[in-house]
């Protein structure tokens, strides 16, 4: 069974982005989806920036993305701007690779980043060919002190249904 891919776009392991990516992976696993987690910060920087698809780590990430039934993109935002590391990972994909793929963007950052999904992340994904974008939550980092908000699990449940519909249509 093809996995749901969670792309963690944080600049360092752990932190708010890592917490959200791990949470998303666990929730999707609980829904019965196999999950592949791609941590952008763990990919070789030079190979990533040069789009070296022959690098073993890059090739493995691309294989996960190519076989994905859906993608959760967890990204940090700052003043409604996406992280360049996220863009570097997405630049590895061939043109049209996101078409028809259910995609759930989950963003986190300071409170000023609230508009990032609508004004930055969604246009980026559409420019890269995404056609099945789900409405993703923005989670201020300060809110994570009390745990991951329920709205993230709600969005993941909607994503799970979209992935299930894609599986029935494809299978």
pLDDT tens digits along 40-81: 999 999 999 999 999 999 999 999 999 999 999 999 887 555
**Domains in the chain with CATH codes:** 4-170 (3.40.50.360)
| pLDDT mean over 102-117 | 82
Distances (CA, A) of 73 to 28, 129, 171: 13, 15, 24
Q: Which two tokens stand for residue 59?
A: 């090739």
Task: Give Rg (Cα) of the chain.
Answer: 15
- pTM (2 decimals)? 0.91
First to last CA, the chain: 11
Determine what percent of the chain is predicted with pLDDT higher than 70. 90
CB 6 within 8 A of CB 25: yes
**Distance from the Cα of residue 44 to its chain's centroid:** 18
Q: Which two tokens stand for residue 129?
A: 């060919």
Q: Where is 27: in which H helix or E strand?
A: helix 15-30
Cα torsion angle, 14, 146, 78, 158, sign? positive
- State residue 168's pLDDT score: 47
pLDDT exceeds cutoff 50 at 97: yes
């Amino acid at each position: 069974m093809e996995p749901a891919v969670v792309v963690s776009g944080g600049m360092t392991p752990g932190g708010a982005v890592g917490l959200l990516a791990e949470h998303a992976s666990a929730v999707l696993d609980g829904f019965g989806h196999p999950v592949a987690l791609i941590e952008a910060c763990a990919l070789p920087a030079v190979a990533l920036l040069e789009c070296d698809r022959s690098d073993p780590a890059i090739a493995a990430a691309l294989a996960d993305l190519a076989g994905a039934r859906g993608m959760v993109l967890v990204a940090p935002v700052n003043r409604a701007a996406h992280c360049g590391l996220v863009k570097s990972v997405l630049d590895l994909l061939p043109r049209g690779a996101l078409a028809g793929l259910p995609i759930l963007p989950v963003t986190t950052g300071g409170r000023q980043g609230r508009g990032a999904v609508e004004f930055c992340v969604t246009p980026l994904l559409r420019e890269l060919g995404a056609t099945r974008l789900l409405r993703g939550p923005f989670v201020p980092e300060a809110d994570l002190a009390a745990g991951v908000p329920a709205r993230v699990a709600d969005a993941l449940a909607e994503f799970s249904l979209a992935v299930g519909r894609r599986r029935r249509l494809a299978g």
